[in-house]
Amino acid sequence: MPIFLRWLAANAVMQNWDTYGVMPHNFYLYRNPATQRFEWIPWDSNEALVANNRCLSLGASEVTASWPLIRYLLDDPDYAAQYRTYVREFGGTVFTAARLTPEVDRLSALLASSIQREVAGYTFTSASRFSAAMAALKSHVTRREAAALAY
């Protein structure tokens, strides 16, 4: 369960609306023949880092019995405590403005010259739109770090 709880915590901190707990796809359960245990395999996380009203809250209080794995674990006091610890750890050590802002800046600089060659109708059509998106990403990280630490 720790792997799933860590994934759930990271997913909730980053915010991803296209995932288990919101959408009934984008994951696999694999039964490992060596251990006879199921392993959680998330995939298609392209809607992560998008804040909207469809994302799970950090406490996942809106999650119903339709999502049995989340509900079972977060209704158990011990697993819920472990989940809260993972939210604080991820929000306080991995998903932090201090750690991710320089990385966003580094990767933005790598892409900057390519942005100038974008063709209208595709992703970013101007350097200013790209810069605004990078600023929004850094702001998102700052807000979610604060939310995770407050949770």
DSSP string of 70-89, one letter each residue: HHHHHHSHHHHHHHHHHHHH
Residue 71: both structure tokens together: 């509900």
**CA dihedral for 87, 90, 93, 99, sign (positive or negative):** negative
Residue that has been written with the tokens 């966003």 in this structure: 104
Domain with 92 in it = 2-150
Least confident of 6-20, 60-74, 81-95, 116-130: 116-130
- Give whole-number Cα distances, 51 to 15, 57, 115, 131, in Å: 6, 11, 24, 18
35-58 pLDDT, tens digit per residue, is 999 999 999 888 899 878 889 999
Q: What percent of the chain has pLDDT over 90?
A: 73
Residue 12: both structure tokens together: 């909730």
Give the three-class secondary structure for 93. Answer: helix
User: Can you give the pLDDT at residue 73?
Assistant: 95
User: Can you give the pLDDT at residue 115?
Assistant: 84
Q: How far apart are CA 92 and CA 146, in angstroms?
A: 9
- Give whole-number Cα distances, 75 to 25, 26, 61, 63, 65, in Å: 22, 23, 10, 11, 10
pTM above 0.85, yes or no: yes
User: Can you give the pLDDT at residue 7?
Assistant: 96
66-112 pLDDT, tens digit per residue, is 999 999 999 999 999 999 999 999 999 999 999 999 999 999 999 98
- Domain count for the chain, please give it: 1
Residue 8: in which H helix or E strand, if any?
A: helix 2-14
- 51: nearest Cα among 140, 124, 147: 140
